[in-house]
Structure 1
């Protein structure tokens, strides 16, 4: 349960920071909220691509995967 709470507070913190930075740069609350909602989705996709790239790098270096890939990224 603590992991779920920690994940939730991290997500909320990430959202607040993204909205705050976007608002500071644009001065527009609607644009800032839009960026705050869109950015985590883009970041999740970027993370998945990053993980796959590292898996491929590890495979090329050793001939075997470094670890079992997460089914979500296969």
Structure 2
């Protein structure tokens, strides 16, 4: 008795165990590529680059008015 041929399904899922490369060398390569791409378009201003160290340390919150601290909750009477 002839058996049916075996069906095989190929998977295109690749699992990587290495974390993504985010070192300085990769950032420099990207920055250089952006600069080279923008040289041909002098009418555009260069986009500001944000460094990972900068974070939100010196940035005021858009939800508070300038010169005014966030509202404090009054203490409950005892």
TM-score bracket for the superposition, by shorter chain length: 0.3 to 0.5
| Larger helix percent | 1
User: Please, what TM-score do these two structures have when normalized by structure 2?
Assistant: 0.31
User: Please, what TM-score do these two structures have when normalized by structure 1?
Assistant: 0.33
